[in-house]
Each structure stands twice: as C-alpha cells, then as structure tokens.
Structure 1
Amino acid sequence: MSDPRPPQDGGPGEDRPDNLPPQHNLPPPPGDEPTPEEKAEDVAGVKPRVASMKLARAGQVIDPDGTPVDERDRLDTANASLLDALRITFRLLIGGMFVLAGAYFLSGFQPVNEGERAVRTVFGAVQASDVGPGFQFSLPYPFGELVRVQTNPPPLSEESRFWPGMDGGASRSADQIRARGSLEPGREGSLITADGNIAHARFNIVYRRNDLGRYVRNIYPAHEERLLLAAVRRGVVTAVAEVDIDELLKQSSSEAGSVAARARQIAQQMLDEAETGLFIEQLRMIDRVPPGALRQAFNSVQDAEANASRVVSEAERDARQLLNSTAGQAVASLTELIESYGNAMELGDAEEAASLLARIDAVLEGEAVPGGEFAAPVMVSGRVTEILNDARRSATSSVSRARSGLESFRAFEAQYAENPELTVRLAWQGALTSVLGRPFVQTFMLPVDGEDVLRVRISQDPELARQLDREQKRQEAEDALERRNRERMMDRFRTQTGGTVTGG
C-alpha cells in the first residue's frame, strides 16, 4: 500500500492506484491517524499542496519525516541509550579493577634464588628474617615487601690504604716499591708498628651476611662495602700497632695470634656493635713488606734467619737419624738415664750413680727399667747392639785365651816336673824358632872352621829393608785408623755436661 502522505521534498503527491480498494472506511492503524491535510484531501478528493513550514506545539520537535514528536520522549530515548552505555562501561571498569586487584595480589609471590635468603616485612616490621630459596609470598608493596639478599657476596681486597700506589691508582707489586727515604701522603699508604717502624701490607676479606634482619634494617646496600672496609682498616691499624716489625714480617695469617686474626677480631666487634648483620669469615694478610729504603737490609736478616733455621732443622734431623741408628727405640730412655748419671757423678752421689748405672745396664739388656718411667722393656737396636755383641765376643775370646793359656801352663809345669832339662831345651828351641820366623829377622849361615874368633862384615839387604819399611808403615797406618775410628765412635756417645740430648 502506498503512502497517501505527500513526499518529503514537497513535490506533487503520487496518485493512488485505481485497482486498490478505498481505505476511507477502514479504521486507521494505531499510531497512524490521518493528519488534517489528509482528512481534507479525503473530503474534497483533491490532494493539497504540501506546506513549506511545519508548526509544532510547545514541548514538541519535528522529526526528519516532518512529524511533530514530544521532546521528552526523544530525551528519554537518548538517556536510556546513555544509561546503557554507562552501565556497560561500569561493568567493564569493575572487571578491570578485579583483574588489577588479582594481579596486585599475585605480585606478592616472588622467587628466591639459590645462594639467596629473603626477609619478609609487613608494614615495615620484619616478620621473617631467614626465608629460604623457592617461590615465596609476601604482602605486596607498600603493605609488605620481600627483600632478597645474597648471603655470600664476592671477597673484597684492601690493597690501597696501606700499600704504595702507582700513577693511575694501580697498586704496585712488592718488587716495584721504590727505595726512597720518604713517603707521599695520600698516595703511598703505610702502617706504624709498635717499635715505630713503617710497614706496608695488603689484605683479603671474605665475609657473609649472617643476620639478615639486622642487615636489612641497618645497612644501605650502597654503603655496605665502605662500612666493612672501615671496620677492617681500624682493626688492621690497631693490630699492627701492637707488634714490632720483626714479628709482623715473620708471622703468617694462619697463626692464632697473628695480626690478621687480631684485626679480624677488632673489625668484627665493631660490626657487631653497629648491628650490621655482617660476619667476617676470613681476613688474610696476603703481603707485608718493610719500607723500600730498608727492604734489602730486612731481606738479608730474613735470609740469615731462614738459613739458620734450615741448618738447625738439618742438624736436628741428622741427630735423630744418628740416635735412632745408634739405639733405636731405647734412645729416649738411654739419653735421659745417661744425662742423670752424669749429673749424679758431678754431684758426687755414688749411690744414685750406681742405681742409674744399673738402670742403664737394664735398658741395654732389653729389660724393664727398675723404678723409672720406662717400666716396660725397651727394644735396643742399631750401633749399640753391634757394640754389645762385639764386647760379648771379645769377652768370650779373652776368657777362652786365658783358659787355654792356663791349661798350657799347667801342662808345661807337669812336664818340667818330670824332665826339667828337656823341657827347658824344648822351650828354648820354640822361642828361637819363633824369633827367627819373624819377617824382619835375617838369618845368615856361616861355616865353622874351629877358630875361636869369627869376624863377619854384613850389610842389610836393600830389598828386604824396603819391604820391612812398607810393612811397618802399613801396620802403623792401620793402627792409627783403628784408633781414630774408636775415638770418633766414643765421641758420638759422649754426653755434654749441662745439656740434654733427646731422640725426638
């Protein structure tokens, strides 16, 4: 059905088709009542001209199609659309706030890596001071915080404050320190010892953050290194001022009473008083030298002392080897007993000396020492055993020779009692044969012609004389060598009066 109303542009209206039934008798649909112009057209049967101006009542507006509309209805529609838009925006805003709140809450979960510990705080107060590695939770900032701390920071070195520097701030090595009679303040650091000498030293510091609660409360990370070095420097200055330079140059960092140990004690006390939570595990003195001008003199003294220590060590080693090779396990007991025996002899205490001598004999025989510290038998070995065995063999041989001589004398005595003349002749003949059989005796055979006087001019055989001389000198050399060996062996067992010789 075509619209009977005139077109929007005010042109001539369109005619109703002839084949359509008339609509005048039908009631208009709701909201589509005919306008006054349409009613006039129906009555007159003539389509009126569209007006060039539309009039509306107060409170109405003209729609684009030319129909007056109540302004309140139109505003209600706009308000409803705006309300819907605001309602959607509010819902989106609420959802975003929930997302942000969840993200803010989840931000409290933070990882604590290996080698780290964390401190959990709530409103600035420490709630937990030793949170281990893992995924840990804390209230998000600013309500709470999870402060992560590396427990074992890298070592520090103090190489500039007490050591001469070079141009550019680099540190010299010990060999590069110049031999000068003065130091440049602010550039060439030094220490003063108890005897007023100047020394240079360098230190290495190994520390850890022990009490994390105190560390987080009292230490600003940017100031940590400066605070630690200040405490160490104070300790080093105090410790060096308590020793002289000779003691400083000789000791090592591992000694219990060393400068490094004393400096560490003082520095740690200062850090504990400041409640820093830092703990110095090791303070090692990596180098210490005298001033450059006196370095050569100090090195000479140190070399001499080192050489003396080496000689003493070698002498003690040789003494131990000699004593062990002489008496073995019985060295300690024999040395103590011999020393006591010598003291008793000097004091004239014959009874004590006899008792000590009996105890010495007991030790040499491998028996228990009566009334002494060595109640159990001690095994004697080495040179002492050889001497004792030689003495026993010599004693046995001497006894055997004496007994053999005694038996020979008794047989000779019995033979003389039976036939004295024959016994004397046999003894004379044996003695003459023994004398003539010696290598230095020369025998001459002379004819007997019955004369009473026999004159013989003889001279010694030169070859035989040379042989006799060589043999005599060889015998004298052997006797002298044996005598020296005996004296040297006795010197090894001779105890110096007033001294104590130990086997260990």
Structure 2
Amino acid sequence: MGDLPPELKMMKQHVLKIVLGLVLLAGLWTSVHTIAPEEEGVVVTLGKYNRTLLPGLNFILPFGIETIYKIPVQRQLKQEFGFRTVQAGQRTTYSKSPYMDESIMLTGDLNIADVEWVVQYRIVDSYRFLFRVRNAEETLRVMSESVMRKIVGDRTVNEVLTVGRQEIATRAEELLQAMSDEYENGIRIDQIVLQDVNPPDPVKPSFNEVNQAQQQRETLINQAEAEYNREVPRARGEAREMIELAEAYALNRVNDAIGDAARFNSIYTEYILAPEVTRQRLYLETMERVLPTMGSKIIVDERGNNVLPLLNLEQTRRGAN
C-alpha cells in the first residue's frame, strides 16, 4: 500500500486530534459535577454504591464507569393526592378531574367522601432512599393512599368532614412515618395536611340539605336549652321566695300566738289576784277602743228613762287630738 500523500497524513492527524479532543471533552463532561447546597451526590461505580459527595464541585470516573445521583436532602418535598397544582402564585390554580380516583374514599358508615391531602416530607438518608426501596417516591405515594383510606374507613362521614379532620391528619402522619421506618426508605414525614374534604359532587346538594337540617336541629336544641336555663332558675327562685314568705308568715303567726297566749296568761294572773279591778279595767280599755269608731252616741240608763245624746264626742275627740 505505499505511503500516504502528505495531505492525507495531515488530514489524518487533524481527525485524530479532533477525536481525541472530543474524547477529552466527553470525559470532562461526564466526570465533573456540581452539587447544589441542598443536595447530596450518591456515587455508584459499575452499579454498586461507592460514596456520598457533599455540595460543591466534585469529580467522578468518566464514560459511565461511575454514575452520580443528586438527592435533595435539604429540601422539603411534597406529594398531592386528589389534585395537582397547575400554577403556584398569588392565585394558585389546581387541576382535579384526572385525579378523582385518588381522593374518593369509603367511610366507616358506608358513605363516600372526597378527601384531598398533601404529604410534606424530606429525604434524610440518601443511601436508603436509593437502594432500600425501588422507586421510593412512588412507593411513598402508594403507602400514603393506603394509610389515608384505612383511617377514613374507620370513621363516620361526619367525623371525616367536620370534627375529625385534625385527628385524621395526625394519625395518618404517625402511621406513614411508622411504615417509612419499617421499609427503611430514608424518608421523614414532616406533615400531612387535609387540603379539602367534601362529599362527592353528585350527592353534595343532598348532603348540604342534611347538614342544614342538622344545624337547624342544633340551633333549636340550643335555643331550648337557653330557654330552660332562663326559666327554670327563675321558677326555682320564685318557689324559694314563696316558701320563705310562707315560713316568715308562719313564724310571725306563731310568734303572735305565743305573745297573745303570754298576754292572756298575764291578764289571767292579775284577774286571779283582783277579779273586780281586772274586769273593770278590761271593760274600760275595750270601750276606749270601741267608742272612737262609732258615729253618734246615745247613752241611756238601765231603765231607759233618761237619754243623754253625746253627739259631739267625735268632734271633742278630734279637737283634743
């Protein structure tokens, strides 16, 4: 085959330089990696875990000999169930219709509730996150849905829609964290938030009517209790007042009777000692009380012969007063 012409030799040298430059560029491209401050770099050598790199500029073996996975260990992540955030901002928009199957659940009293929730979590162990569970994020989603359906299935629809929401969220967080620890997926659950809990749209009008009826019933019960609390104490007070008045009246009559009896006994004692004087005094005292109440007075003797009209007794008495 003879020697190549100088032009071809020069061209071959240029091609070799270009290929070598491309190889060097590819090696540099695949070996230099920048890890963000909120990330860790997990290096795998030929499919086996090798080391974990800290944030900053790092180098690995090129051409796929080593592969790096950047795990956001300092960032709070979230998974949404029953809806997806389309655009976040001052007026956040959501999409719900394609995700109804995630949120429709059966309650313990065989009713249906539409439960939307958010799981907020962090990756605390990048090694476990990558190698203990296959597709840890999808597994976490399945676990979250399973836990929420279990908790909702143990409660009535009224508990789910009203007073039991906080308890459901707290219990779901506890169970999901326990499952994450059991599976060793390297995830820590920060919070579970019930975004929205409603009856399904087809039965929402009927459910609202039931709620209105229940609220009206509660209102009437509260009004009745308020009326009871207002009237019963007043009636008890009036009854107590009447009892106290009756007791006071009885005590007054008894005291009067005791006084009258004592006075009668004292008079009787005086009468025993001086009957005529006592009788005369009683007569005079009685006439002193009776005569002022009379109008015109006429005094006669025992035989009725002498009449002495005392027509001015009342005037005299008034003048004396």
TM-score (norm 2): 0.53
Aligned mates of 1:404, 1:126 — CA distance in 2 = 114
* Map 1:145-164 → 2, pairs under 5 A: 147-160=70-83
Aligned mates of 1:387, 1:448 — CA distance in 2 = 50
Q: How many corresponding residue pairs?
A: 252
- Is residue 199 from structure 1 mapped to residue 118 from structure 2 by the alignment? no
Residue 141 of structure 1 is matched in structure 2 by 60
Aligned mates of 2:243, 2:120 — CA distance in 1 = 62
Aligned mates of 2:178, 2:51 — CA distance in 1 = 27
Opposite residue 153 of structure 2, the aligned amino acid is A
Give the C-alpha shift of residue 200 in structure 1: 1.6
Contact 1:158 1:204 in 2 (8 A): yes
Give the C-alpha shift of residue 238 in structure 1: 3.2
TM-superposition CA deviations, 1:382-408 (whole Å, max 9, x none): 99xx99999998899778656644543
Give the C-alpha shift of residue 207 in structure 1: 1.8
Higher relative contact order (CA closer than 8 Å, sequence separation 6+): 2
Give the C-alpha shift of residue 141 in structure 1: 0.9
Give the C-alpha shift of residue 246 in structure 1: 3.8
* Map 1:446-465 → 2, pairs under 5 A: none
Aligned mates of 2:112, 2:126 — CA distance in 1 = 39
Contact 1:192 1:240 in 2 (8 A): yes
Please state whether the residue corresponding to 2:166 is helix, strand or coil: coil
Match of 2:283 among 425, 448, 451: 425
Match of 1:281 among 169, 185, 190: 190
- Is residue 408 from structure 1 mapped to residue 263 from structure 2 by the alignment? yes
Change (3 A) 1:431 1:233: farther
Please tell me whether Structure 1 or Structure 2 has the larger radius of gyration of its CA atoms.
Answer: 1
Contact 2:161 2:198 in 1 (8 A): yes
Aligned mates of 2:104, 2:44 — CA distance in 1 = 48
Aligned mates of 2:108, 2:39 — CA distance in 1 = 43
Opposite residue 268 of structure 2, the aligned amino acid is E
Residue 229 of structure 1 is matched in structure 2 by 141
TM-superposition CA deviations, 1:183-239 (whole Å, max 9, x none): x9978963233444332221122222233331243578xx66544333222223333
Opposite residue 170 of structure 1, the aligned amino acid is S
Contact 2:82 2:101 in 1 (8 A): no
Unmatched tracts of structure 1, length 5 or more = 1-96, 98-102, 162-167, 173-183, 327-381, 437-442, 452-504
TM-superposition CA deviations, 1:324-373 (whole Å, max 9, x none): xx9xxxxxxxxxxxxxxxxxxxxxxxxxxxxxxxxxxxxxxxxxxxxxxx
Residue 160 of structure 2 is matched in structure 1 by 248
Change (3 A) 1:146 1:283: closer
Unmatched tracts of structure 2, length 5 or more = 1-23, 85-92, 306-321
Aligned mates of 2:68, 2:101 — CA distance in 1 = 44
Contact 2:271 2:278 in 1 (8 A): yes
Residue 170 of structure 1 is matched in structure 2 by 95
Opposite residue 197 of structure 2, the aligned amino acid is R
Q: Which structure carries more strand by proportion?
A: 2
Please state whether the residue corresponding to 2:72 is helix, strand or coil: strand
Change (3 A) 1:137 1:429: farther
- Is residue 125 from structure 1 mapped to residue 49 from structure 2 by the alignment? yes
Change (3 A) 1:216 1:318: farther
Change (3 A) 1:409 1:193: same
Change (3 A) 1:232 1:144: closer
* Map 1:350-365 → 2, pairs under 5 A: none
Residue 131 of structure 2 is matched in structure 1 by 217
Change (3 A) 1:262 1:398: same
Contact 2:35 2:41 in 1 (8 A): no
Opposite residue 192 of structure 2, the aligned amino acid is L
Aligned mates of 2:204, 2:180 — CA distance in 1 = 35
TM-superposition CA deviations, 1:68-104 (whole Å, max 9, x none): xxxxxxxxxxxxxxxxxxxxxxxxxxxxx9xxxxx99
Please state whether the residue corresponding to 1:283 is helix, strand or coil: strand
TM-score (norm 1): 0.37
Give the C-alpha shift of residue 271 in structure 1: 4.0
